[in-house]
Each structure stands twice: as structure tokens, then as C-alpha cells.
Amino acid sequence: MQKKEHSLCFTGHRSEKLPKTAEQLEILKLRLWEEIDKAIENGIDTFYFGGCYGFDLMCADVVAKRKRVIKMSDPKIIKLIAVVPFEEQAVRWKESDREIYYDTLPQCDEVITLNTHYKQGCYHERNRYMVDRCSKMIAYYDGGSGRTAYTINYAKTNGLEITNLYE
């Protein structure tokens, strides 16, 4: 198992609650890239994401691209781990989101599927699984209620260092 102090997880909203303009989305991706780079420089080598469309897949994409940027002066091995709440989670998504999801999973070093089928509480189970294995979190959280709020509160209770990219 990975060491908590070297692991970071992501939590955030689905696509509907992300910035609306291409420019705002690009700014969010740049900030995300900077935070991931800073985390790597501070010893993080394992990144967990929950496999949902929106912020999760955006984070996975940035980490996957970051894995391919190698500084010969300071080489690092970066792991990307998807934690999927149940096997068919992407079945009802828009086709474009499903494509990103199925393009992302093969780029992961590990895909952990917690349940074969949907069951009540499986998203919270996934979020606890990630938080329990990490010391840091990068979030995109607008302060509202829902799964992201639950995950942020669980992370606070567990003493994670949280960076929220929501403005």
C-alpha cells in the first residue's frame, strides 16, 4: 500500500458545475497543473481520483500528462490510481464523458473497482477509500451540499491538507 504522506486525492464537481467558458476552464487546468507540480515537488508520487466525469477526469488527465514530463535532473515515478465505485458507473453518462472515461482508465497504473453493481452509499465508500489513503487533497468545491461536501468534511475530519481551486 502507498504511504499516506506520499498520496493525494482529488474531489470536485461534475461538468455542470465547472467553469462555463473555455478561458475559465483553461485557467482552472493551469492552476491544477501548478498544484500537481507543487505536490510532486513536495514528495507526492501517488494520485487517487474517483473516476467521475467533470473535475475527477480533468485531474486524471493532467496527472497522466504530467507523468510523461520527465526531468532527467530529478526523475520521479508518478502513479495514477482510479477508484471506481461500481463497474457500470459510466453507462448513463453522455457519450463524450464516457469516451474521456474509457480513454483515461488505460492510462492509470491501477483501477480499483469497489463494487460490481451500484449500491446505496457506494459513492461515499469510494470517497472514504481515497481519503483514508492520502494526506493531501486538491478540490474544486463551491461550498454547496452533496458528495463533494461530504468528501471535504471527511477529509477535514481525517486531517488532510486541502487545497480548494474554486474561486
Q: Give the gyration radius of the chain's Cα atoms.
A: 15
pLDDT at residue 165, rounded to an integer: 98
The 8 Å CB, 24+ separation contacts for 66-72 are: 66/33, 66/36, 66/37, 66/40, 67/107
Q: Which residues 6+ apart lie within 8 Å of 39 measured at CB?
A: 8, 136, 138
Q: What is the DSSP letter of 88?
A: T
Q: What are phi and psi of 46, to 5 degrees?
A: -130, 130
Give the C-alpha separation, 132 to 126, whole Å.
10
pLDDT exceeds 70 at position 1? no
Q: What is the pLDDT of residues 137-149, one digit of tens each?
A: 999 999 999 899 9
Q: What CATH number does the domain containing 29 carry?
A: 3.40.50.450
pLDDT at residue 43, rounded to an integer: 93
DSSP string, 111-129: EEE--SS--TTHHHHHHHH
Q: What is the pLDDT of residues 90-127, one digit of tens each?
A: 999 999 999 999 999 999 999 999 999 999 999 999 99
Give the C-alpha separation, 23 to 36, whole Å.
20
pLDDT at residue 128, rounded to an integer: 97
pLDDT exceeds 70 at position 16? yes
Number of folded domains in the chain? 1
Q: Could you list the residue range(s) of the whole structural domain that residue 86 is in?
A: 4-164
Q: Which helix (H) or strand (E) holds 166?
A: none
Give the C-alpha separation, 152 to 165, whole Å.
13
- Amino acid identity, residue 148? T
Q: What is the pLDDT of residues 23-37, one digit of tens each?
A: 999 999 999 999 999
